Amino acid sequence: MTVLSALKTVNLTLDGREIIAHEGDTVLEAALTAGIDIPRLCHDPRLKPVGACRLCVVEIEGERGLLTACTMEVAEGMVVETETDRLAAKRKTVLELILDDHRVTCPTCDKNGDCALMDYSYRYQADQFAFGGYKPGPVEPNFATGNKAIAFDPQLCINCGRCVRICDEVVMASALTFKMRAASVEVTTPFDMPLNETSCVLCGLCITTCPTGAMYDRAALGQGQIKDLEKVQTVCPYCGVGCTIELNVNRANNRIVRVTSQVGSVPNDGNLCVKGKFGFEYVHSPERLTTPLIKENGEFREASWDEALELAGRRLRELRDEHGPDSIAFLSSCRCTNEENYLMQKVARTAGATNNVDQCATTCHAPTVAGLAATFGSGAMTNAIDEIKDVDTLFIIGSNPTEAHPIIGLEMKKALKKGAKMVVCDPRKTWVAEHADIHIQHKPGTDNMLINAMMRHILEEELHDAEFVEGRCENFEAFSKNLQDYTVAEAAELCDVPAELIMRAAEMYAAGEPSSIFYTLGITEHTSGTENVQNLANLAMLCGQIGKRSSGVNPLRGQNNVQGGCDMGAMHGDFPGYQKVDDEVVRFKFAEAWGVDIPTNKGGRVTDFIEQAGDGVLRGFYVFGEDPVLSEPNQAKVIKSLENLEFLVCQEIFMSETAKLADVILPATSFAEKDGTFTNTERRVQRVRKAVEPPGQAKADWEIICLMSTAMGHPMSYDNAGEIFDEMASLTPSYGGMSFERIDEVGLQWPCPTPDHPGTGFLHAGSFTRGLGLFHEIRFREAAELPDDDYPYILSTGRTLYNYNIGNMTQKSDAIRQKQSKNFVEMHASDAERLGVANDDLVTVTTRRGEVTVKAVVGDRTRPGALWMPFHFVDQPTNRITNDAFDNITRTAEYKVCAATVKKSAEVPAAT
Amino acid sequence: MDNTTCIVDIARYFIAFCADESCGLCAPCRLGTVQLEEILNRITGGKGTLEDLDKLESLGEVVQQTSLCGLGQTAPNPVMSTLRHFRDEYLAHVVDKTCPAGVCTALLPVEVTVGKEK
Amino acid sequence: MTDTMVESGPTISSPEDLASLRDQLAAAAEGRRRVLVCSTGCLAIGAREVEATFRSEVAAAGLIGEVDVVQTGCHGLCAMAPVAVIEPYDIVYGRNRVKYIPDVISQTVMNGDVIRRFCYGRDAAMAHVEDIPFYAHQTKRVLRNVGRVDPQRIDDAIQRGVYAAAGKALTTMAPDEIVEEVKASALRGRGGGGFPAGLKWEICKQNPGNDRYLICNADEGDPGAFMDRALLEGDPHSVLEGMIISAYAIEATKGFIYVRAEYPIAVRHIRKAIDEARERGLLGDNILGSGYSLDIEVREGAGAFVCGEETAMIASLEGERGMARPKPPYPAVRGYHGEPTIINNVETFANVPLIIDEGGGDHRLQGHQDLRPRRPGQQHRPRRGADGGDDPRHRLRRRRRNAPQSRVQSRPDGRPIRRMCARLPPGPPHRLRLAQGGRGDHGLRRHDRDGQHDVHRRHRPLLHRLLRR
C-alpha cells in the first residue's frame, strides 16, 4: 500500500542528463517520464515487462552486454546510453528480422497511423527485404475467424505476446496463448477453439494493446486508416464507471469507425469492456428516429419540429393549468448529460411549475442516495476507483463487478494480484464469488439478517474500532442494543449459510487494513433497500473502515450518468447538489436565479407516476431517454397505466416500447452527437463531446428541452452546453469550482467548491459530511413476496456483461449479439433434473404478474430453489413478471426477490 | 571430429538445432537463428556467396548480443567460431563451390559417364 | 530386471546408524564375486540379453549366492559395449557375447582367468582396470560409484559411502559453514555457465523470501551430451546426497529435479532412489536425526531444449509455458514463484559430498596442476571419436567410416584436449581437427595448439581447431 511520495528517489544519468526516478522504476519508465522515447514493441505500462522484442536494449556503464531497459530496475548512480550507433545498428537488424516475418502492407493497413512497427522501422530505416522478404500464407482460418468483434491477422502478428499477457494479467481470462515454438510460434486460443467458445469476454484489450494491425476491430476493417480518423475524446455511455474513450470518426462519411482509449486515461487506464469497445453501432443504426412523430388515429405520422413542439408544449401546459401541478410529471434520463438533467428539473420547476421530476435512480440506487445521505450526510461512493487496487480486504455484497462494472472489476483484480483478501456475499456464484476467500451464498432478501449477525459477532469479539465509534459517530447505544436481537446462529438458519462463514467473513472485514465495501443493486433493489444501505454504512462505521484511503462504502452506480442525474436534482425533493426543495434559503436562491416561484407540491418518483397514471391522477407525462415499459416491474400494469394518460411525449433515439404509447415523439441525440458532461460513480465529472452529426432532423436533447420549455411558456435558450454547466455550477456548491475548461482533459471529483480546488478523492476524512456518522437500528424485514406452494422458487433479476439494461443500445451491435441475443433463465442443476429440463430447453417462468418462455441455462450458478434472469430483452421481457413492491423510502422496486414457478415448455426452440 | 567432418555442415547442424529449439519469445533468437540456418543451407547447398559470410558474422553478432537468454546468446557460437578458425573451408564452399570433407552432396563433383550397352 | 518395488530396510536415524550399516555392508561385500553389467548405455547393444544370460548361467551353474550379477551404470568404455566388470579382480570385459558367458563365468568369474578376446585391445595384458590406459589416466571422483553400484539399490550406495557426507554436514556443520566450504572449493557450475556455486548460494541466502527452493537441472539437452545422464542413471544417490547438503546450506525445504523425459532410465532410477531414500529416512522429515527436513520432487520435461535454461525451467515448473524470462532478477534473488531459488547442474551437486568430505581447499586442489588457482575441479566429459556425435543424421553419414569411439571419462579441467583425444582407444583418430569442448554446441572453448580443456569459458568458443594438419 505504498503511496508515491513514500518511495525513495534514485538518481541516475540518462543520455548525459541527470534524472530523478523512484525506487522500483525501470530504466524505461524513468526514460519515458524524462521524455526519452526508447523504442519498444512488447511493452505496455499495464503489463509486467518481459523483454521480448529486444528493441529497448541500452548500454549501461559497468554492465557487460546489452540490457533491456524495460526489465532493468534503476539503481543509484547508474549511467545509461539509450541511443548510440551500436544500439541503432542492433535495433535496425532486429527490426529487419521482424519485418521479414510480417506482411508489410502499410498502404492498405488500417493500423497505418498508429503502428509502432512502422514508426520504428522508419526511425531506424529498416529494410523489409534485408532477409529476402516475407512470403505470405493464408490468413484465415484462425481462432477469430467469423468473430464479429475481434479479427486476427497472423501475418501481421509480430509475436510480441502483449495480447496473451493482457488477457492473462489484466483481464485474468487467459483466453489466448502461444502454440508451437521457435519460428512456428503463433498466437491462438487453447486448442484453436473459436474465440466465442473460450473464456474470452470480448473486452478487446488484446486489440488495444496490439502494436500492429494483427488484432483489430472486425467492424473497423477497411473503414479508414487510423491516420485518417479523427479521435474525439468523450465518456462511455454505458455503465457508471465512466471510462474515457476516443471515438474514432471517419469524417468522409460521418461515421464512428471504432472506439479506443489511451493507456493512462482516467479512470480506466486504456481498458474497456465489450460494451464500451464494441457497443457503439447503435449510434448509426437505421432504426434511429430522424423526424418528430405525432400519433394520429393510432398511427404515427411525421411532423415538423414546430408542429410537434407546439402540440406537446401546449398540451402539457393545458393539463397543468387545468388539473394542477400533480397532474404532469417529467422523467429525466440518467443516460443523458448533466446539462440535460439540470434543464429537465429546471423545466419541471419553471415551465412545469411542479416538483414532479425523477430519473432512473429510483429504479436502482435511490436507496443509496437516501441511505447514505441519512448516515453520512452524502449519498455517493465514498472513495475513488484508483484506490481500489490498494484495498486490503474487498467486501463485495450484492454486486457482480466483473460483469456489471468490468473496469472496476479489473481494478479489483489488481488488488487480488497484490494479495488482497476478498469476501463475497451473493446468492449466485459469480466470478468474484468463485475467486473469493469466503463466498457467502445467502438466500436472496436476507441481507440485513446477515449484516446484523456479522456486526453482532464483531461487537462480541471486540473487533470493532471503539475509538472511531466513540469519536466520529452517534446513536451507538441504540444501535448496539438493536443488535442484541440478532445472532449468528439465527442468521445461519435464515440465510442458509454456515455460521462459521458468517463469523469468519465478519472477522476478515473488521481486520482489513483497510477494508472496503462494494455493493450494487443486490442491496438496493429490495423493499428494504434503503435500510440495507444504512446497515452497510453501520458496518463500515463500526469497524472504522471509512474516511480513509481505499476504504469506505462504495455503491457502484449503474448508468453512465445516474450519479449526475441525482446530482442535478432531477428528484422531487432535491435541487442540484442535493439542496433541499423545502429549505427556504435554497428555494429563494433558485427562485432568484430562475426568475420564477418555486413550486411547493411534494412531487413523487417514477414508480409513483406510473401508479398515479393508472389512477388518473397523473395526466401528462414528459418522458426523456427512459423506457419504463421495459425497466419498471409488472409490465402489464405499467402499460395499462401509461395508456391511461391523456398525453405522453417521449424524447428518444429509438422507437422504444414506451415511445410506442406516446402521442408525440421527439427525435434526440446519442452521447456521440452532443456536448456536455457525465458524472461517474466516483463523483467524477467528465466531458462528453460531439463526434458526429445526428441523423436526419434529430436535435441535441438539451436543445429540445429548451424548445419544450419555450413551448410550454417559459422561454429558455442557451448557446452551448458550457453555458448550461456554468449556470448550474453557480448554483451548486459541490460543482462550484468546475467548468468545461477545468475538466477539459481529466474530470474532477466533487465536492469541488472553488476554481482552484483540486476535487475530492475520498469523502468523510476527519468528519462526515453531516458531522458525526449516524448509526441506524435496522430491523430485518422479509421480502414482499416469498415463495409458497404455488410459486416455490425465488426469482432474482440482474445484468450480464454483454448487454446493458433494456438492451436498446447493445442489441444493435453485431459484436454483442453474437454472444447474447435472447433472454434466458439460470437454474440450478438439481431443480432442472427434477423438472426434466436440460440445458438450452425452453421453459416457462410464471409469477403472479405473468409468464415468459425462455431458454434454460442449467448449472450451479444459482442456489437450488432460485432462478435468475437478465432484463435485457424486449422479447419475453423479464419485467413482465417482476414484482411491483417498493422500498418504503425511495419507492425502488424489489427486482431481486419475487416468487415464481417454472416448468418445461411445450414449445420447441426456434432455430437461431 | 576429423577430416571427414564438414565444418560448415557442423555449424549448420548446430544452428538448425537451436533454431528448432528456440522458445520463440524474443525476436533475435526466434527469427535470427532461422536466418542463419537458411544462409548455411544455401552455402551447403552450393548457392552461397561471399556476402553470405559477412551476413553470418553481422547477424550472428546481433543474435548473440541481443537475445534474451543463453540459448539465443550462444546459438551462433558454432557458426562464429568456425568462421574464424576454418574460414578456408567456408571459402571453399562459397567461392570454389566444393566441400573439402566430401560431405555436402550438392557440392560433390558429379561425373556422368555415358556408356554403351553391351 | 531389478524391481521398481522398494526393498524394505531399516530406517537410518543418525550418522552413527549410517556408519554402522555401511560397515556391515562393506564387510559382507568383502571379496564377493560380482559381475557388473552396464545396463544403461549398453542396452542399445544387447546388454539386457547379456545380463539375463549371466543370471541364468549363474543359476544353471548352481552359483546363486556365490556370484552376484548386478545391473550397473556406465563403465565409460562405450566403444567396447556391452561392458561388464568382474569383481573382485577388477577385470574389464567388453564386446561380451552371450554364447561365451558360461566360459566367462567358469574361467574369469570363478578363477580370475583372463579371456583375451574380451580384453581392451584384445590384449590380455590390459585385462585389469589399472592396466588400461583409458582408466589409468583418470581419477574417478564424481563417477567413482558409477559402474560399481546397482543404482536401484540404496544399500550399494551406502556401502560405498554415499550419504556419509550428508550426515556430517547436517549434524555437525551450520548452513553458512557449508557455503564457505563450497566457496573455498571454487566449485563452478558444471552446466556450462560456470558461475561459482558458493557465491550463488550466498547471494540466494541474502534474499529472505518466504521459502527457498533448490532445483537440479537434469534437462541435459545439448546434442551429444550424456554426462548428467550417466550420473543419474549410474549413481543417483550421490546426486541426491549433494542436493540434500546444498538444500540444507541454503535452508530450502523443497527440492526439484527437472529431468528430461527422453532419459527414461534416468527418470526411473532417480525416482526409485528418492523413494528408497524416503523410506530409509534419508529424505523427508528429520533427516538422519538432524532436525532438517527436505522433500524432493521429480518433474519430467516435455521435449523442449530451452527448458534447460534456468528461467524457462522455472516457468515450466510453475506450470507455465517454457519461455525464458529476463535476468536480472536472477533466480537466486527471485526464482520459482518469486522466491530465492538455486538451480545447479547434476554434476555440480555430485561434487558437493566430495567437498564436505575432503574440505573445500583440498577439493580445489584436484584440478590440473598448472592451472590450479584458476580452474579447479574436474569435469567429466563424453568424448566422441571421429563419428561426431550421437545424432543419427551424422551416424548415417559416417557409417562407412570409423566405428564409434564414444566414451565417458573423467578429466580434470585444464588438461589439454589434444591429450585427452590422444587417449581415445584404439589408437589416435584420423587427423583430429576439432573438438567440441565444454558443454553443448555452444559451450565450446577457444584454444590454441596445446589448448587446455576448460569447460567454463564460453565467450568465443566453439569448434576449435586441433592440430595435426
- What residue in C sits closest to B61 (Cα-Cα)? C460
Tell me: do C124 and C226 sit in the same domain: no
What cell numbers appear for A85 in the block?
A: 550507433
Residues of B in Cβ contact (< 8 Å) with A101: 31
SS3 of residue A395 by DSSP:
strand
Select from B18, B24, B82 the Cβ nearest to the Cβ of C463.
Answer: B82
Tell me: do C170 and C305 sit in the same domain: yes
The residue written with cell numbers 543404482 in the block is C151
Residue A552 pairs with which residues in a beta bridge?
none
Mean pLDDT for chain C overall: 82
Vertex A305: Cα angle to A301 and A306 (nearest 5):
110
Residue A229: predicted pLDDT: 97
Residues of B in Cβ contact (< 8 Å) with A183: 19, 22, 24, 30-31, 34
| d(C-alpha C118, C-alpha C259), whole Å | 35
Per-residue confidence at B2, pLDDT binned at 50, 70, 90? confident
- What residue in B sits closest to A67 (Cα-Cα)? B66
In a domain, C378, yes or no: no
Q: Is the pLDDT of residue A378 over 90?
A: no
CATH fold, domain B7-107, is de novo design (two linked rop proteins) (1.20.1440)
Cβ A251 vs Cβ A260: under 8 Å = no
What cell numbers appear for B10 in the block?
A: 557442423
Full 3-state SS string of A98-112: HHCCCCCCHHHCCCC
Residue C446: predicted pLDDT: 36
Residue B116: predicted pLDDT: 72
What cell numbers appear for A244 in the block?
A: 474515457
Residue C415: predicted pLDDT: 55
CB contact under 8 A, A97 and B23: no
Strands (E), A170-214: 177-179, 186-188
Number of residues assigned to chain C: 469
Tens digit of each residue's pLDDT (9 = 90 or more) over C307-348: 999 999 999 999 999 999 999 899 999 999 999 999 999 999
Residues of C in Cβ contact (< 8 Å) with A68: 326
Residue A151 pairs with which residues in a beta bridge?
A216
The residue written with cell numbers 434454460 in the block is A856
The residue written with cell numbers 529431468 in the block is C259
Cβ A251 vs Cβ A616: under 8 Å = no
Residue C394: predicted pLDDT: 33
Tens digit of each residue's pLDDT (9 = 90 or more) over A489-509: 999 999 999 999 999 999 999
In a domain, C220, yes or no: yes
CB contact under 8 A, A53 and B23: no
Distance from CA of C60 to the nearest CA of B (A): 46
Q: Is the pLDDT of residue A260 over 80?
A: yes
Mean pLDDT for A444-464 is 95
Name which of A213, A253, A205, A209 is nearest A229 in CA terms.
Answer: A253
- What residue in B sits closest to C395 (Cα-Cα)? B5
CATH of domain A293-364+561-749: 3.40.50.740
Residue B17: predicted pLDDT: 96
Residues of B in Cβ contact (< 8 Å) with A96: none
Q: Which residue has the higher pLDDT, A603 or C419?
A: A603
What DSSP element (H or E) covers C58? Answer: helix C47-60
Tens digit of each residue's pLDDT (9 = 90 or more) over B64-92: 999 999 999 999 999 999 999 999 999 99
Residue A4: predicted pLDDT: 54
Q: Which of residues 50-79 of A touch B (CB under 8 A)?
A: 50-54, 57, 65-66, 68
Mean pLDDT for A546-570 is 94
In a domain, C168, yes or no: yes
Residue A847 pairs with which residues in a beta bridge?
A850
Residue C437: predicted pLDDT: 53
| Chains in contact with A, counting 3 or more C-beta pairs less than 8 Å apart as contact | B, C
Tell me: do C56 and C159 sit in the same domain: no
Of C93, C109, C136, which residue is a domain's last? C136
Q: Is the pLDDT of residue C438 over 60?
A: no
Q: How many angstroms separate the Cα of A772 from the Cα of each of A367, A377, A514, C384?
A: 20, 9, 21, 86
Output DSSP code: residue A771: B
CB contact under 8 A, A72 and C321: no
Tens digit of each residue's pLDDT (9 = 90 or more) over C393-430: 333 333 333 333 455 555 555 555 556 555 554 444 44
Mean pLDDT for chain A overall: 94
Tens digit of each residue's pLDDT (9 = 90 or more) over A866-894: 999 999 999 999 999 999 899 888 889 89
Q: Name the CATH code of domain A135-284 (choices 2.60.40.10, 3.90.550.10, 3.30.9.10, 3.30.70.20).
A: 3.30.70.20
What cell numbers appear for C11 in the block?
A: 530406517
CATH of domain A793-904: 2.40.40.20
**Domain containing C208 — which CATH number?**
3.40.50.11540
Name which of A721, A716, A712 is nearest A594 in CA terms.
Answer: A716
Residues of B in Cβ contact (< 8 Å) with A158: 27
Residues of A in Cβ contact (< 8 Å) with B62: 89-90, 93-94
Residue C70 pairs with which residues in a beta bridge?
C36
Distance from CA of C324 to the nearest CA of B (A): 6
- What residue in C sits closest to A72 (Cα-Cα)? C328
Mean pLDDT for A726-747 is 96
Distance from CA of C132 to the nearest CA of B (A): 24
CATH of domain A4-83: 3.10.20.740
| d(C-alpha C432, C-alpha C449), whole Å | 12
Tell me: do C183 and C217 sit in the same domain: yes
Cβ A242 vs Cβ A267: under 8 Å = yes
Tell me: do C89 and C232 sit in the same domain: no
Exposed/middle/buried for C27, CB within 10 Å: 0-12, 13-18, 19+?
Answer: exposed
| pTM for the full predicted model | 0.89
Domain boundaries, chain A: 4-83, 135-284, 293-364+561-749, 366-555, 793-904
CB contact under 8 A, B78 and C441: yes
> How would you list the strands of the sheet with A230-235, edge to edge?
A230-235, A244-250, A255-260
CB contact under 8 A, C434 and B17: no
Domain that includes residue C234, residue range: 154-362
CB contact under 8 A, B31 and A51: no
| d(C-alpha A401, C-alpha A380), whole Å | 17
Residues of C in Cβ contact (< 8 Å) with B4: 386, 398, 401, 430
The residues of B whose Cβ lies within 8 A of any Cβ of A are 19-28, 30-35, 58-59, 62, 65-68
Q: Is the pLDDT of residue A256 over 50?
A: yes
| d(C-alpha A665, C-alpha A754), whole Å | 40
The residues of A whose Cβ lies within 8 A of any Cβ of C are 49-51, 68, 71-73, 177-178, 181
Residue A133: predicted pLDDT: 87
Q: What percent of chain A is modeled with pLDDT above 70?
A: 99
Residues of B in Cβ contact (< 8 Å) with C465: 85-86
Q: Which of A188-197, A658-667, B98-107 has the lowest mean pLDDT?
A: B98-107
CB contact, 8 Å: C326 with chain A? yes
Mean pLDDT for A259-271 is 95
Residue C408: predicted pLDDT: 58
Distance from CA of B58 to the nearest CA of A (A): 9
| d(C-alpha C321, C-alpha C305), whole Å | 13
| d(C-alpha A124, C-alpha A115), whole Å | 15
Domain boundaries, chain B: 7-107
CATH of domain A366-555: 3.40.228.10
Q: What percent of chain B is modeled with pLDDT above 90?
A: 84
| d(C-alpha C362, C-alpha C141), whole Å | 13
CB contact under 8 A, B2 and C430: yes
Of C362, C394, C419, which residue is a domain's last? C362
Residue C427: predicted pLDDT: 42
SS3 of residue B94 by DSSP:
helix
Tens digit of each residue's pLDDT (9 = 90 or more) over C109-162: 999 999 999 999 999 999 999 999 888 888 889 999 999 999 999 999 999 999
CB contact under 8 A, A180 and B24: yes
Q: How many angstroms separate the Cα of A782 from the Cα of each of A388, A532, A651, C258?
A: 33, 12, 38, 60
Select from C312, C386, C401 the Cβ nearest to the Cβ of B23.
Answer: C312
**Domain containing C82 — which CATH number?**
3.40.30.10
Residue C453 pairs with which residues in a beta bridge?
none
Distance from chain centroid for Cα A716: 32
Q: Is the pLDDT of residue A612 over 80?
A: yes
In a domain, C394, yes or no: no
Tell me: do C125 and C162 sit in the same domain: no
